[in-house]
Amino acid sequence: MTEQKRKPEKLTGVKGMNDILPQDAGLWDFFETTVKSMLRSYGYQNIRTPILEHTQLFTRGIGEVTDIVEKEMYSFTDALNGENLTLRPENTAAVVRASIEHNMLYDGPKRLWYVGPMFRHERPQRGRYRQFHQVGVEALGFAGPDADAEIILMCQRLWDDLGLTGIKLEINSLGLAEERAAHRVELIKYLEQHVELLDEDGKRRLYTNPLRVLDTKNPALQEIANNAPKLIDFLGDHSRAHFEGLQRILKANNIPFTINPRLVRGLDYYNLTVFEWITDKLGAQGTVAAGGRYDPLIEQLGGKPTAACGWAMGVERILELLKEDDLVPQDEGCDVYVVHQGDAARDQAFIVAERLRDTGLDVILHCSADGQSASFKSQMKRADASGAAFAVVLGEDEVAKGVVGVKPLRGVAADARNEQQTIALEDLTEYLINAMVASAEDGDD
């Protein structure tokens, strides 16, 4: 007996790293088009950095005692040359590295933006995945609170452009290094008095990163965190003036905000202004955008001392908000679907489709699923399902006469019950463009 051929094992994607399927592409395109238009209106330029960076970039830039570095990074040793590499968990450090490496600030400050996938080994949940996408901005070389205010105003404009509501702004100031050092001493003294009540994360961070203890999500520690010494009480004159300057600009532009003295952010490189945009519509994953000022980072990574600020937002979380608020745009489909029957008609259909595409129309040409010619009825069902505004019909008779059939499938023309029209081949492009313009104008009335 011959051994029965074993069916290959079905392969699946890596947990927490999701496919973006065609039915979701329209929503991604809508968001990306909207955000790119907003960024362009503020004079920001696109920068694209590699997905892989040296691990040292993140351990030095983010901080060795952060959750990202300690628990979440995808790091490995390159088997060919022994380099320690990491899939980027965030992109600010990479943008700063690129600006230093290419001497981008030699002729003055830069406004930069990026978009792309990031990687963190977290527990997957709604809007939070192991491969996730971020849009971010970095304003390099700007020291005043006006830059902080501008990047916050950008977020508000994006929420307005997308139609999102109910996203609230929280701000805080982390002050300067010496102010944080003075606060750190008092905070450790305070936490030592309650050490028996701290959870494992709190005890681990007590002497390495005590500020992060205040950012705990553990309900049992909320009272301890609320009563802890507040960093804002340790701010000096410069830090207070910077923070007050930010608030004045936000108030002048009617941007509501709340001062949250426990807002510290999870990365070591922040100073002065920090902020988060939060929502209560996504469960535990309430932060949709966050950022602040990180003046020490450029020098920390080997550059000249340079002021900087920026933000990043999770694309998946914003898309979830768009779905939650029923703001998903409808897929308009293509402009034309070309159906055909017979070899001569098929050859002519290719020529017709290419000519229509030359004019800027979106065209789907029917191709057989099984290698056999489908009936006109079957093809018209496909045409209707495609979302096309018009079907162009070619058969042997049409080819012989130098004409095509044109049938409206939807929109005003279809509602008016217009029947299929016979159009001379040389008049097809002009006819379709005029018909589509007329439908659009009727639809606007």
Residues 328-348 have pLDDT tens digits of 887 777 899 999 999 899 999
Phi/psi for 131 (5° steps) reads: -110, 120
- Residue spans per domain, the chain: 22-175+235-324, 336-432
Output 273 or 193, whichever has higher pLDDT: 273
440 vs 62: which has the higher pLDDT: 62
Which has more confidence, 313 or 2?
313
Measuring CA to CA, how many Å separate 205 from each of 59, 69, 181, 208, 249?
17, 14, 15, 5, 35
Dist. CA 83–CA 86, nearest whole Å: 10
Mean pLDDT of 190-204: 81
Q: Please, are residues 321 and 279 in contact by the beta-carbon 8 Å criterion?
A: yes
- Residue 27 has a pLDDT of 92
Q: Could you tell me the end-to-end alpha-carbon distance of the chain, in angstroms, rounded to an integer?
A: 74
Q: What are 368-417's pLDDT values in tens digits?
A: 876 677 888 999 999 988 889 999 999 999 999 999 999 998 765 444 45
Q: What percent of the chain has pLDDT over 90?
A: 58
What value does the CA radius of gyration of the chain take, rounded to a whole number of Å? 29
Confidence band (pLDDT; 50, 70, 90) for 241? very high
The pairs formed by 226-232 with CB atoms below 8 angstroms and a separation of 24 or more are 226/262, 228/187, 228/190, 228/191, 229/183, 229/186, 229/187, 229/190, 230/261, 231/172, 231/173, 231/174, 231/175, 231/179, 231/180, 231/183, 231/261, 231/264, 232/172, 232/173, 232/175, 232/259, 232/261
pLDDT per residue as tens digits for the range 152-176:
999 999 999 999 999 999 999 999 9
Per-residue pLDDT at 414 = 47
Mean pLDDT, to the nearest integer, of 95-107?
96
- The residue-averaged pLDDT of 213-226 equals 78
Query: Which pLDDT score, from 0 to 100, does residue 411 have?
Result: 64
Report the amino acid identity of residue 188.
I
pLDDT at position 77, please?
A: 93
Bridge partners of 392, per DSSP, are: 338, 406
- Residue corresponding to tokens 């492009």: 429
Q: Read off the pTM.
A: 0.86
Task: Please give the C-alpha separations between residue 281 and each of 115, 213, 275, in angstroms, as whole numbers.
Answer: 24, 25, 19
The label of the residue with tokens 């088009």 reads 33
Closest CA to 270 of 154, 198, 171, 201: 171
Contact 118, 78 (CB under 8 A): no
User: Between 3.40.50.800, 3.50.50.60, 3.40.190.10, 3.40.50.300, what CATH number should domain 336-432 receive?
Assistant: 3.40.50.800
Q: pLDDT at residue 442 above 60?
A: yes
pLDDT-derived band at 444 (thresholds 50, 70, 90) equals low
The second-level CATH assignment, the architecture, of 22-175+235-324 is 2-Layer Sandwich (3.30)
pLDDT confidence bin for 226, thresholds 50/70/90: confident
CB 372 within 8 A of CB 361: no
**Predicted confidence (pLDDT) per residue in 10-62, tens digit:** 888 888 888 888 888 889 999 999 999 999 999 999 999 999 999 999 988 77
Q: What is the pLDDT of residues 255-291, one digit of tens each?
A: 999 999 888 776 667 899 999 999 988 876 689 999 9
Instruction: Report how far residue 375's alpha carbon sits from residue 371's, in angstroms, rounded to the nearest whole number.
Output: 13
Mean pLDDT, the chain, rounded, equals 88
